[in-house]
Chain A
Amino acid sequence: MRLRTLSLFALCLPTSIPLAAAQDIPNRPEDIQFAPLNFEPPEAAGYRHELSNGVLVYLAPSQELPLVNIVFTFKGGGYLDPQGQVGLVSATGSMIRRGGTMSVSAEDLDERFDFLAANVSSSSGSTTSLATINCLKSNLEECFALFMDMIRNPGFQADRFTVYVDELLERLRQRNDFPDAILNREWKALLYGRDHYEASQTTEPMVQAMSIADLRDVHRQIFHPGNLIIAVNGDFEESQMLALLEEAVSGWEKRPLVIDPPAPEVKFTPGLYHVEKDIPQGKVFIGLRTISRDHPDYFPMLMMNEILGGGGFTSRITKRVRSDEGLAYSAGSTFIPGVYFPGEFRALFQSKNPTVALSAKIILEEIELIRSEPVTGEELEIARNSFIETFPRTFESKAGMLNVFVNDEMTGRDAAYWKNYRDNIKRITAEQIMDVARRRLDPRQMAVFVVGKWDEIYQGDLDQRANMSEIFGGNVTHLPLRDPMTMEPIK
């Protein structure tokens, strides 16, 4: 009896389900009801520890995989390059990993790390320096001991330094090969000045003049507990990890915290700029310096940029330049608020030479429009929802979450930033967005920077919908390409 019922039921199943299913599907996605997702951002304080010498440690254990991931972040980077020695800090960061230790040769250290399957790195960026190790839990102690020896007593082995210098020179040689590299370099030089660390470039003579003694000086200045914050995630027990770290830093001389990165001194001249490169597609930035992240205009700028060009396909620039006109593969804008001084806003695209002018013209029109008319209710809602709904992703992975905590700690961002983030986004109105665009995005104060083949770009498109004479009256400043080795203008 029971059996028969069951088999009947099974027979009915295939036909009854699709019938029911078709009726269950709402006509539009807006008709779907979603369960609420309650999310509160994690608080840094819950993960924060302090070693006896004052070094801060953030720990986030998880047992999913038998790996341990340790990140040492030191304040200090390229902005500390001595006058005329651009690239020295970066060289130091790289050479710590590559040059062995005072008691272990570079070859033996590399072989040992590799045999233990540990991924170890060191590097110096423009404002911070990193040393990281990712290794199996089973050999953590041996790996970590070698890692600490490497950071505290780097060998800077001479033959390895020679290889580093050789490789660096080869990288310099390639500095004009990619048009985007030229655009980035010259754009930064225009906005921040060639001497500022955002834009400064090393040269062959500077590289040749670097010595191991110089590296040691930089190492003493940056890689010490006074600049250090540690983050660890992966498979470990908190008290054991703290004991391991405590031992690792004991007797490590703590020197003074380095200074903050300096603000640029240059005020750039708005206008149309160009560097020649024989390619079938012009690469363009349009923008200017804006604000730092602590400025009251920060949230309105964030929302304004999202609607104008930051929000991918939903944004205005992408819609018009890419979707409507098919003029570019990527077209949009980005808002990079500075941490220590005002950062920048820039719109960007690349388009075949004859339609560079048209694309630029459309973008400038969109900039004018967002300054003169309030954004629509729909646009405001999409941008708002996007920021709020994707907010949990900031803390999605343990490593990502710790990275946020470390950066906030190092740059002095208030923990309330994340707590109030969604409320601050919700508060922004269409009027505030128009107001901030009007004050912060004046096209007459912008630079339009083009890398490409000027004679083809200048003429504009076949239908003459636009040519470059419409942008700053066609008054272009042709900037010379720079010699990749010396950074001197090429005649």
Chain B
Amino acid sequence: MPLRHFSIAIPLLMVLPVSAQQIEVESFVLDNGMEFLLLPRTEQPNIIAAGWLARVGSVNERPGITGISHFFEHMMFKGTTTIGTSDAERDRSYREEQANLRNQLLDLTWGEQYEHHRRGEIDDPWDEVSDSPAIKELRSRLTNSKEGHKQVIVNNEFDKIYTSAGGSGMNAFTTNDVTFYFINVPSNKFELWAWMESDRLSDSVFREFYAERDVVHEERRLRTESTPTGVFQEQFNAMFWQSSPYSWPVIGWTSDLNSYTMEEAQRYFDIYYQPSNIVGVIVGDFDPDEIKPVIRRYFSRLQAGRHAPPPVVTLEMKQLAQKRMYAECDCQPQIELRYHTVPFAHSDRPALEMMAEILNGRTGRLYKSLVEGKSIASSATSSAGGFGAPAKYAGSFSFQAQVKGDALPEDLELAWYEELERLRNEPVPAQELQKVKNRVAADAYRRLESNFFLLLQIGYYEALDGWEHINEDPKRLQAVSADDILRVADTYFERTNQSVAIYNRTAGGDPIDEDLLALGPEQQRNVMLMLKQMENYSLPGLLQFRAQMGERLQQIPPQQAEQFKPMLEYLLKKMDERIAELQAAEND
């Protein structure tokens, strides 16, 4: 039985009585150039959210040191001359020794190993499997030095001091544009924050440099390599940006992660962590008149830098042709389309954001049309950039959707073009625009509910263009007209300005090789190494090798047969498979 629906009368152009809240941030600058933004707030008693940001991110890097901004974020928790060691002098000599060994190791790797790699003799110049005797020697001296160093390292002391004092949520993140450090402290412990942060900003020591680099490798495996679409998103990003330094990932390319030197790190720190490039942000339960003297006392000890950080000069080249990428992964078939748009401070950004708002949400155009109407998507959203995305120097607009049922990613692409045509040709109806504006206005209040979120917004806006955006943006969004949306939809969405990534699901998986498992760890390793070498053999070479192996199998003394026979048989089986593969390839 169909339900009788009463439609609700919606008065056209009813405007909700909302006017964005103004928050009063107090800003001041120390003599050394460090800026502070203060926002007292009593709604969350007894707590202060405190943080600071450096105006540095992957955009300030260059090939060879990609990922160093993020690596710094890790190193900043390793302490100072005072924090993190029981013997500053021995600590320093261990660090110098390790930097020295490390530099020799890098020279050998970049020299010999890279050359072997270029000649096709080894797969990966960084893989320890291919270490030369000299590299092995250096590596083992490095390991010894690191072991010795542990005697004078007070592990994670920075964290212990905060934890013991009731600090919570201590963390940091790095984006393309900004590096941000933050923590919540009890309101009576503000001075501790000032001590700790001014200490690490004036006297940072890069301890446990190499173990931490391994941690970052694990982070890369976790976030990029072990997720269904991670590595492909990284490639898509590199394809989308041509000349802009936004093209490399924030976490860095693998070879570069291995290549940082202590000198390079120190140079980077001196340039980008000078006080005039840093902004402190404090939100919560405090009296500004009480904490300002504390801030001055502690942060005035930071030495002003001698030269301002260099500007980011490389602009993105204008895209001239559509770019497409096809990937297969353990993932829902999906699509992303991305367009070059404008940097954060550009006057067209509010209109592009409103365009995304029109498309998004439960009653937005994408859900209604792709998910409900055509029933080809299980999700569909658009984004005009946003928190953490590249923004300061260049922007982008993207559409992402996952398929439903038998639909193909290409069906989603066509549906997107239809929506785009509507936006380019028909003004957004007044009622629809007002709905989105109402939501944007209410959300402007919701964003002011938590100390921590306020801290992030004020800091992030300040890094991109100015903290005043927290008050000004809601007004700018309200001022966007249907004509503005029509205009931006017509300006930035040419096919030649577009990159497309299409993901399809991989069929099947890798079964476990039970025969290999039966061999036990030591033989497994030998077998794996030989199999790896075998990949480089040509067909005649392999046939010859196969013949020799067959003979050796016959010659095993009976008393050793039980031990080695399974391994040799396994190798022969794998060889035969490989031979068949190569023969098939020749016949093609």
Bound CA–CA A206/B372 (angstroms): 22
Instruction: Report yes or no: A279 in contact with B218, Cβ–Cβ below 8 A.
Output: no
Given A111-B8, A319-B155, 19 other A-B contacts at CB below 8 A? Answer: A25-B297, A29-B196, A37-B46, A65-B448, A105-B3, A114-B362, A115-B10, A117-B438, A136-B445, A170-B402, A177-B330, A178-B228, A280-B225, A283-B226, A314-B156, A323-B211, A350-B218, A382-B160, A454-B512
Q: Tell me the complex Cα distance, A454–B155, Å.
A: 33
Complexed CA–CA distance, A34 and B185 (Å) = 12
Complex Cα gap A388–B165 (Å): 9
Alpha-carbon gap, A167 to B150, bound state (A): 53
Q: In the docked arrangement, what's the CA distance between A459 and B516, Å?
A: 11
24 A-B residue contacts at CB 8 Å? Answer: A17-B300, A21-B296, A29-B83, A64-B43, A108-B7, A117-B439, A117-B441, A118-B442, A171-B378, A174-B332, A177-B330, A279-B226, A281-B221, A326-B210, A327-B218, A385-B164, A386-B168, A396-B44, A396-B45, A396-B47, A397-B450, A455-B524, A459-B521, A459-B524
Size category of the binding interface on chain B: 35 or more
Q: Shortest beta-carbon distance, A268 to chain B, in Å?
A: 23
- Chain A residues contacting B216 (CB-CB under 8 Å) are 329
Q: Which residues of B contact A116 (CB under 8 A)?
A: 16, 438
Q: Chain B contacts of A454 at CB under 8 A? A: 512, 517
A382–B296 alpha-carbon span in the complex (Å):
30
Is A217's CB within 8 Å of the partner chain B? Answer: no
A270 to B106 alpha-carbon distance, docked (Å): 46
Using CB atoms, name the residue of chain A closest to B74: A329
Q: Closest Cβ of chain B: how far from A456's Cβ, in Å?
A: 8
The listed residue (B166, B196, B222, B443) touching A389 by CB distance below 8 A is B166
Bound CA span A459–B521, Å? 4
Specify which chain A residues have a CB less than 8 angstroms from the CB of B296 in the assembled complex.
17, 21
* Inter-chain contacts of A280 with B (CB < 8 A): 221, 225-226
Chain B residue at smallest Cβ distance from A65: B445
Pick from B16, B199, B363: contact of A111, CB below 8 A.
B363
B311 interface residue, CB < 8 Å from A?
A: no
Query: Shortest Cβ distance from B464 into chain A, in angstroms?
Result: 25
The digit string for B198-224, where 1 denotes a CB below 8 A from any CB of A, is: 010000000010111111111101100
Interface residues on A, range: 35 or more
Query: When A324-B211, A455-B512, A455-B516 are in contact, do A115 and B187 touch as well, CB less than 8 Å?
Result: no
Question: Number of contacts between A and B (CB, 8 Å)?
Answer: 279
Contact A67:B445 (CB < 8 A) given known A37-B188, A350-B226: yes
Q: Is the CB of A311 within 8 A of B226?
A: no
Residue of B with least CB distance to A170: B378
**A323 interface neighbour in B208, B301, B405, Cβ under 8 Å:** B208
Query: Is B128 a contact of A462 with CB atoms below 8 Å?
Result: yes
Contact yes or no, A166 B217, CB < 8 A: no
Chain B residues with CB under 8 Å of A351's CB are 218
Which B281-331 residues have a C-beta within 8 angstroms of A? 296-298, 300-301, 330-331
A469 touches B371 (CB 8 A): no
CB distance from A220 to the nearest CB of B (A): 18
Bound together, the chains give a CA A34 to CA B190 distance in angstroms of 9
| Complex interface: chain B residues within 8 A of A453 (CB) | 510
Chain B residues with a Cβ under 8 A of chain A: 3-8, 10, 14, 16-18, 21, 31, 43-47, 77, 82-83, 128-129, 150, 155-156, 159-161, 163-166, 168, 170, 184, 186-189, 191-192, 195-196, 199, 208, 210-219, 221-222, 225-228, 296-298, 300-301, 330-332, 361-363, 371-372, 375, 378-379, 402-405, 431, 434-435, 438-439, 441-443, 445-446, 448-450, 509-513, 516-517, 520-522, 524-525, 528
Binary CB contact string for chain A from 456 to 486 against chain B (1 if under 8 A, 0 otherwise): 1011101010011100000000100100000
Min distance, Cβ B536 to any Cβ of chain A, angstroms = 20
Q: Who on chain A is nearest to B143 by CB?
A: A463
Least Cβ–Cβ distance between B415 and chain A, in angstroms: 16
Residues of A within 8 A of B166 (CB): 385-386, 388-390
Q: Which residues of A contact B45 (CB under 8 A)?
A: 392, 396
Query: Which of A14, A105, A313, A381 is most buried by chain B, counting CB atoms within 10 A of its CB?
Result: A313
In the complex formed, the residue of A with least CB distance to B7 is A108
Closest CB-CB distance, B166 to chain A, in whole Å? 2
Neighbouring A residues of B3 by C-beta, 8 Å:
102, 105, 155, 157
* Closest Cβ neighbor of B526 among chain A residues: A459
Contact A163–B375 (Cβ < 8 Å): yes
Q: A65-B21, A174-B332 are in contact. Are A312 and B159 (CB under 8 A)?
A: yes
**Could you tell me which residues of chain A, from 113 to 162, have a CB within 8 Å of some CB in chain B?**
114-119, 134-136, 138-139, 155, 157, 159
Greatest chain A CB density within 10 A among B8, B31, B83 is at B8
Q: Is the CB of A29 within 8 A of B212?
A: no
Interface positions, chain A 98-112, Cβ under 8 Å from B, are 100, 102-105, 108, 110-112
